Amino acid sequence: SDLQKHVERGELLQPLIFVLLVLCSVLLYFKVSLMDPGFVKPEEEGKEGEDKGQGAVIPQIPGDIKLRRCGYCLVKQPMRAKHCQLCQHCVRRYDHHCPWLENCVGERNHPLFIVYLSVQLVVLLWGGQVTWSGLYFGQSWELLKHNIFLLVSFLLILIFTIVVLLLLISHLYLISCNTTTWEFMSHHRISYLRHSELENPFDQGIILNLWRFFC
């Protein structure tokens, strides 16, 4: 049959891989958007190791900076945690609230968020290449009309690709510095950063920062 011939020639392998990547992207989206990003729970107060996964508190941070109680949910905030008024919870190692996910990006789902962006970027690049290869460039207006759907699709894919690429690069840069989007944008308003002798007291070198984040 024709299907068997396509399989034997390996012509169905690439479409199958593309569909699997799209499916993986969708599953990652729901996983990141539905999972607990690292909500601080009241019953966790007083437990040891509150800063697990958030980067060690090194001596350059003044010792007189104490954990404060959140004015909204009244839990004692670990260092690097922040209250999200949209989620109505304090989030450990808070990075940002993503409107596309309708969830915070924090200690627990930040690595998966990076994986999701990476898979999404591959899907967009692949889709852009397929769309571009289908365009036929000619001087006739009729040819342009026949290509208008592919052309609009390519422009939309190009815009989303640029957005995802810039977002991924910015997050990888911040991760390599062991800082978060919130800390980077609000450095002057955060007590443990404002009173620290170092600009970023959590930075332990690119390799160790990446290792601790992903592993």
pLDDT-based confidence at residue 50 (cuts at 50, 70, 90):
very low
Residue 48 DSSP label: S
AA identity, residue 39: F
Q: Which residues are catalytic?
A: 98
Q: pLDDT (tens digit, 9 = 90+) per residue, 141-180?
A: 566 666 778 888 899 999 999 999 999 999 999 999 999 9
More confident residue, 145 or 23: 23
Tokens at 109, concatenated: 């789902």
AA identity, residue 98: C
Q: Which helix (H) or strand (E) holds 170?
A: helix 148-176
Structurally, the chain folds into a number of domains equal to 1
- Rounded to an integer, the average pLDDT of 187-201 is 85
Q: pLDDT (tens digit, 9 = 90+) per residue, 66-113?
A: 667 888 888 888 889 999 999 999 999 999 999 999 999 999 999 999
AA identity, residue 172: L
Lowest mean pLDDT among 65-74, 113-122, 134-143, 186-195: 134-143
Give the max Cα distance, the chain.
76
CA distance from start to end of the chain: 48
> Can you give the residue range of the structural domain that contains 147?
2-36+105-214
- Whether the per-residue pLDDT at 51 is higher than 50: the answer is no
Residue 85 lies in a domain: no
Residue 13 lies in a domain: yes
Residue 144 lies in a domain: yes
Residue 19 lies in a domain: yes
